[in-house]
Chain A
Amino acid sequence: MANDPIIRVEELTAKYGDNVVFDRVSFEVMRGEVFIILGGSGCGKSTMLKHMIGLYTPFAGRVRIQGDDITRAEGEVRRRILRRLGVMYQSGALFGSMTLLENVRLPLEEFTDYPPEAMDAIAASKLRLVQLEGFEDYMPADISGGMKKRAAIARAMALEPEILFLDEPSAGLDPITSAELDATILRLSRTLGVTFVVVTHELPSIYTIADRVIMLDKETKGIIATGTPAELRDHCENDWVRRFFLRETAAGGEPEVRTT
């Protein structure tokens, strides 16, 4: 992993109306790493992601992607940055009026000059990558939730992005598919040097793929921990973080195990 930051989040503050979600948060994502954003439900992980991809304008602070400030970029500059990003939203966000293949094709149509048959071929190969071969002509409404997630990941990967943002990619997937997804992430990261920013709660997945983890917190509206999963589990002084990694309940101790 090269040691230069591909994304720099600088003193970022996000608000919905008067409700501050996080306050003056700064961190860096290194080129080629798998970077995980953790935190309790509703602490602002999706909000953070949406600021990092320039969808929301922050109340204060900036986000630099390879030096360009995406929060203030417009026109061609913005397009140039967006071209390098792939995003999978928490809800999948497939276009309901298009087939899976058309969904994956759309970014190609928008950003590239491939001949149509090449676009089809690329889109189909992305669907194969997430084990969705044979479902090219299905509408999003006609496939399962986990399949939608995978199709959305395929779409996020359509343009061979340098940075992939995934919001809870493995939520709703069975353990096997989820493990396959982890393998895909690792493969892309190790062979192509793709940088990943992933929001997830899946501990096994975190241990498998994560290079570095940050933990957002609702109370302090900031980052309460940074490090590798093992560091956070073994050395973090913050109780909540340690409990998260050990899967303990608030009362201490693991949840009582079924004995029958």
Chain B
Amino acid sequence: MSGNEQSGARIESSRDPSGQTLLSIRGRLDSTSAAGVWRRLLELGRAAGASGLVVDASALEYCDGAGASLLVALERQQREAGGGFHVRGLREEFQKLVEMIEPAPARVEAAPEHREGFFEGIGRATLRLLSDTRTLMVFVGELTVMLGRALRHPRQLRFKDLFLVAERAGIGAIPIVTLVGFLLGLILAFQSAIPMQRFGAQIFVADLLGISLLRELGPLMAAILLTARSGSAFAAEIGTMKVNEEVDALTTMGLEPVSFLAVPRVLAAVVVVPVLAMLTNVAGLAGGALMFQTLDFPLVTYVNRVVAATSLGDFVGGLFKSFVFGIVVAAVGCLRGLQTGKGAEAVGESTTSAVVSGIVLIAFIDGIFAVVFYAMGI
């Protein structure tokens, strides 16, 4: 026999002749004392196992919701272990409390938990990725049709939204795009000037800057900044509308959510990204120019080198790329918004997912462009 004294509740454990474990609880089982005896009581119960457990509550003076939860937990544990369970001497008012927590007949058996194996996990992830890509392609297709329709009937377009989005995604992005572009140019020039100086080839820093900014970094940076600033915002705005049933309300008002919500945003992004890419280019070249000054070359030389090294193809190719990035980033943002499930967390998930998928897609498409441009000789 073991005794246990803990802030009001006392537990005694014994075995009766038939082999059942008898736990008698005395004193007060309330929210303070239940905490103290919770583990111990369950352990004693577990020790009883299949042999059966009887709880003697005749000396229980007081029991509140916490105490009743403890009794229910004990019963559940015992049921899972497959042993008998019986409470005796529990006063009627306490019995009611227990029934409130666990109504006797409706016992829900938890479904056996299915643990996913490593390969199963990979398989599922792959399938999800594939179906995700498919959805995105279908969505971009749908969007293109809607864009075409919007351009043919510009009166139906919501210009107010278009300008609002363009202002936020475009004008609002100017400071950060300029700053990032400038630093990018400065750092790139600095990093490349050091090794090139060893060969006396600093002058080629201008070539390097011009080509890499126009073809690659300008559009890329602009698109990534758009993803972070606006792709996420699109997903959050539309996602919140989805959660609030606003998207449903649009549908019943005969307004197609895709054309009402996504078209203005994508159109705005398509206009804005090439401009931002150009801005990045200019800011980057300005940063490079500053670095160049410290290498003791006149500014004219720098400008001339940049102009000579880059072609119209580089410039137009870069702009075209940023145009495509703009569509994709905005489309992913809107799609993730429209795919939002229920609740506030779902909005957070869509926002994150919009940024992640946006950046992955940018990298992916940039790779495709590299191959295509190479094949076309641009």
Q: Which residues of A pack against B, CB within 8 Å? A: 50, 53-55, 78-79, 82-83, 85, 87, 89-96, 106-107, 110-111, 155
Contact of B245 with A by CB under 8 A? yes
Q: Is the CB of B241 within 8 A of A96?
A: yes
11 contacts between A and B (CB under 8 A): A55-B248, A78-B254, A85-B252, A87-B249, A92-B244, A92-B245, A93-B244, A93-B245, A93-B249, A110-B254, A111-B254
Interface residues of B in 217-274 (CB under 8 A from A): 240-241, 244-246, 248-249, 251-255
Q: Is the CB of B252 within 8 A of A53?
A: yes
Identity of the chain B residue whose Cβ is nearest the Cβ of A87 in the assembled complex: B252
**A-B pairs, 3 with minimum CB distance:** A93-B245, A93-B249, A89-B245
User: Cα distance A95–B251 when bound, in Å?
Assistant: 13
- What number of A-B contacts does a CB cutoff of 8 Å give? 46
Q: Is the CB of A91 within 8 A of B254?
A: no
User: Cα distance A106–B160 when bound, in Å?
Assistant: 13
Please indicate the chain B residues that have their CB under 8 angstroms from the CB of A54 in the complex. Answer: 252
Please indicate the chain B residues that have their CB under 8 angstroms from the CB of A95 in the complex. Answer: 241, 246, 249
The contact of A82 among B240, B244, B248, B253, by CB within 8 Å, is: B253
Interface centre among B240, B241, B246 (most CB of A within 10 A): B246
User: Cα distance A95–B244 when bound, in Å?
Assistant: 9
User: Cα distance A55–B244 when bound, in Å?
Assistant: 15
Please indicate the chain B residues that have their CB under 8 angstroms from the CB of A82 in the complex. Answer: 252-254
User: Cα distance A87–B252 when bound, in Å?
Assistant: 7
Q: Is the CB of B240 within 8 A of A96?
A: yes
Interface centre among B240, B244, B245 (most CB of A within 10 A): B245
Please indicate the chain B residues that have their CB under 8 angstroms from the CB of A90 in the complex. Answer: 245
Nearest-neighbour CB distance to chain B for A102, whole angstroms, equals 10
Nearest-neighbour CB distance to chain B for A183, whole angstroms, equals 25
The count of chain B contact residues (Cβ–Cβ below 8 Å) is: 12
Interface residues of B in 52-91 (CB under 8 A from A): none
Identity of the chain A residue whose Cβ is nearest the Cβ of B246 in the assembled complex: A93
Please indicate the chain B residues that have their CB under 8 angstroms from the CB of A92 in the complex. Answer: 244-245
Identity of the chain B residue whose Cβ is nearest the Cβ of A53 in the assembled complex: B252
Q: Is the CB of B248 within 8 A of A107?
A: no
Please indicate the chain B residues that have their CB under 8 angstroms from the CB of A50 in the complex. Answer: 248
User: Cα distance A196–B255 when bound, in Å?
Assistant: 23
Identity of the chain A residue whose Cβ is nearest the Cβ of B252 in the assembled complex: A87
Identity of the chain B residue whose Cβ is nearest the Cβ of A94 in the assembled complex: B246
Interface centre among B240, B244, B248, B254 (most CB of A within 10 A): B254
Please indicate the chain B residues that have their CB under 8 angstroms from the CB of A93 in the complex. Answer: 244-246, 248-249
Please indicate the chain A residues that have their CB under 8 angstroms from the CB of B241 in the complex. Answer: 95-96
The contact of B246 among A78, A85, A96, A110, by CB within 8 Å, is: A96
Please indicate the chain A residues that have their CB under 8 angstroms from the CB of B246 in the complex. Answer: 93-96
Q: Is the CB of B248 within 8 A of A89?
A: yes
Q: Is the CB of A110 within 8 A of B255?
A: yes
Please indicate the chain A residues that have their CB under 8 angstroms from the CB of B249 in the complex. Answer: 87, 89, 93, 95, 155
In addition to A89-B249, A107-B254, 14 A-B residue pairs with Cβ atoms within 8 Å of each other are A50-B248, A54-B252, A82-B253, A85-B252, A92-B244, A92-B245, A93-B244, A93-B246, A95-B246, A95-B249, A96-B241, A107-B253, A110-B255, A155-B249
Please indicate the chain B residues that have their CB under 8 angstroms from the CB of A155 in the complex. Answer: 249
Nearest-neighbour CB distance to chain B for A162, whole angstroms, equals 14
Q: Is the CB of A83 within 8 A of B244?
A: no
User: Cα distance A236–B246 when bound, in Å?
Assistant: 38
Nearest-neighbour CB distance to chain B for A184, whole angstroms, equals 20
Contacts known (A106-B253, A110-B254, A111-B254); A96 close to B244, Cβ less than 8 A: yes
Identity of the chain A residue whose Cβ is nearest the Cβ of B103 in the assembled complex: A250
Please indicate the chain A residues that have their CB under 8 angstroms from the CB of B244 in the complex. Answer: 91-93, 96
